[in-house]
Structure 1
Amino acid sequence: MYSIKELGLTLEIEDNLLSNIIDIGVQHYPNEFGGFLIGNYSDDQTHLSITNTILPNKFKGTPYLFERDTIGIENKLKQFYAEKPKKFYLGEWHTHPNNLPIPSGTDINAINSIANHNEVSIKNPIMLIIGYNKTKVEFGFYVQFKNKLYRYE
């Protein structure tokens, strides 16, 4: 379980899902790769459960850049929305090969764009960054909250 004490927020993700996401990202080494995070919030909106990921159908990855398209993603999101309990788009994940899981300027711009996009119904998107090299994997969960980026600990 991860938390941001000053905001009273908590986040959980199953170890096997996190391991799967890491494995998918590492398969694209030396390029960055990523996907969409799916899950749901508690009724009081303070606890987040990440339950699934959706991978992009079309993307471009380089060692320092990941760009994904949303072609075909809407239909996959609708399937999750139809489940009980409903699952929603929560944010995004991507890798930083040979680097730390610290948001770059591009990452900050991207999460701001998601938070302010008129077709996205989430006000506080989540970002997972996976930094890794040949000997170590680190990850950081972040949330955009009231125009500020916070890291879950």
Structure 2
Amino acid sequence: MAERIWVDHRIRDDIRDELRRHRRWLETGGPLVGYIVDRDFVVVRAAGVENATRRRGSFQPDSAAVDRILVDEYRRSGGRLRYVGSWHSHPAGSAIPSSRDVRTAQGIAGEPDVGLPSPLQVIVATSVLPWTAQRRDLGCWQWDPRRHTLVSRPIKWTRTDLRETG
């Protein structure tokens, strides 16, 4: 588990832009890109995924598209940025994980190729009205391998230099 979770404040723009590209009543999302230093997670970007299955109650990104995003971010940053978790929306819902979200986080945590035993999950509560990316609409969760569940985590908002990479 992370000691602190630092999130670049511009991920609200990333998320808002992705929500505008797709119907607000369908879930959307993508990978969180950042780095881990000691026990702190630093989230630099919330990427969107073009190839995905979007439904009212679920979002399934194309894994090859996610891999391309992560490889591009890794190369562009000189190997400093990596996958640290994922984000998705809950249309007309809350920023609280569903049972599917818990199973997904558990699956990611147990995936040896990912190498991330405590991935983050940011959930965005949206409405059918235009989303303004308020902080209260974002929930940050982290997989706790000891308790086998997602645990709510506070976000420390920041500005990162690595975001400008590329």
Q: Tell me whether the two structures share a fold, i.e. TM-score over 0.5.
A: yes
Q: Which amino acid in the other structure matches residue 43 of structure 2? A: I
Unaligned runs of 5+ in 2: 155-166
Question: 1:111 — aligned with what?
Answer: 105
Aligned mates of 1:132, 1:111 — CA distance in 2? 21
User: In 2 relative to 1, CA 75–64 (structure 1 residues): closer, same or farther, beyond 3 Å?
Assistant: closer
Contact 2:35/2:81 (CA < 8 Å) preserved in 1? Answer: yes
When the two chains are superposed, the root-mean-square deviation of aligned CA atoms in Å is 2.1
Aligned mates of 2:2, 2:10 — CA distance in 1? 26
Unaligned runs of 5+ in 1: 1-6
User: In 2 relative to 1, CA 77–49 (structure 1 residues): closer, same or farther, beyond 3 Å?
Assistant: same
Moved over 6 A (4+): none
User: In 2 relative to 1, CA 9–62 (structure 1 residues): closer, same or farther, beyond 3 Å?
Assistant: same
Q: Provide TM-score, normalisation by structure 1.
A: 0.83
Question: 1:30 — aligned with what?
Answer: 25
Greater percentage in strand:
1
Aligned mates of 1:102, 1:50 — CA distance in 2? 19
- Higher relative contact order (CA closer than 8 Å, sequence separation 6+): 2
Aligned mates of 1:80, 1:62 — CA distance in 2? 27
Structure 1 residues 3-35: Cα deviation after superposition (integer angstroms, max 9, x where no partner): xxxx67211222222232134125421100000
Q: Provide TM-score, normalisation by structure 2.
A: 0.77
Aligned mates of 2:66, 2:143 — CA distance in 1? 22
Q: Secondary structure at the match of 1:81?
A: helix
Aligned residues: 145
